[in-house]
Amino acid sequence: MKSLFKGGIAAVAILSAFAANADEEADLIINEEIEMTVRTDAPAHVENLSTIYSGWVFRSTETQALQMDDFENPGMIFVDDAIEAWNTAEGAEGQSCAACHGAPEEMAGVRAVYPKWNDAAEEVRTIAMQVNGCRTEQMGAEEWKYDGNEMLNMEALLASVSRGIPVNVAIDGPVQAMWEKGRDLYYTRFGQLDLSCANCHEDNYGNNIRADHLSQGQINAFPTYRLKNAKLNGVQSRFRGCIRDTRAETYAVGSEEFIALELYVASRGNGLSVEGPSVRN
């Protein structure tokens, strides 16, 4: 067990040394056919970890089991909703996603490389931004709310057809400046508790904070269905929750700060499999 919060942070009082009921050596195979990489060597740009782990590894055996079967995974209900939206023509152009992209399965591999640079827009785009770009620029339709229900459903669909494909997010070239901004945010301490992302997810993964078994904070499995609130959750909404828990003012979903942070954190999971929609506590 790692030492609790290096540097003697006052928040150690809320930590527990008791391990959660998780099988950290388990392997994830979905529907007895899709083999997932849930642990692998850390990418070279992740300096303080030798091995990276999916958050699935740190969940209870009961929660792990829910993700192993699509009939048991409550997040798959929202994938079905997104398939209907995928095939529905909308907007001034009367186009559907399917009209341009074909079946959802044709999008296999897309989720694995986002966030990424968009040449036409000259910006780093998350997959939510790209979906809205398609809606406004190709379909003549209104944007969906960032991390809203329709968007998270579509993200779940796009993740589901990429399950098992390794995350491979670029960190150089035109994205480098945003990646560096995200890295800086990851190590920035926030709030009255004076905590950074790294304090929990790099220094203390495997420990308990209250009832939560800390993971490495990997985002390869988003969107995730949380048993806690019984709905799909987006990664940037999760960022907001984490920063708020430090008793700090937080950034808005879709902000430049959270786009940069998502880019950086996604790259920390390069080599892990796309898992979404996942199941977490």
Label the pairing between strands 34-35 and 29-30: antiparallel
157, 82 Cβ separation under 8 angstroms: yes
Q: How far apart are the first and last CA of the chain?
A: 22
200 is known to lie in a ligand binding site: yes
SS3 18: coil
Q: Is 134 a known ligand-binding residue? A: yes
What is residue 92's three-state secondary structure?
coil
Which one of the listed residues 242, 245, 255, 281 is annotated catalytic?
Answer: 242
Place of tokens 């993740």: 159
Question: 17: how many CB neighbours lie within 10 A of its CB?
Answer: 8
Residues 14 and 165: their CA atoms lie apart, in Å, by: 37
To the query of whether residue 242 is one of the catalytic residues in this protein, the response is yes
On the CB side of 146, CA atoms within 13 Å amount to 17
Beta strand residue intervals within the chain, DSSP E: 15-16, 29-30, 34-35, 39-41, 51-53, 116-118, 123-125, 208-209, 212-213, 224-226, 231-233, 278-280
Residue with tokens 């780093």: 124
* Listed residue (221, 230, 240) closest to 155, CA to CA: 221
Q: Is 97 annotated to bind ligand?
A: yes
CA distance 235 to 262: 8
| Residue 109 CB neighbours (<10 A) | 13
Annotated binding site for heme c: 97, 100-101, 134, 197, 200-201, 242
* Catalytic positions, written as ranges: 242
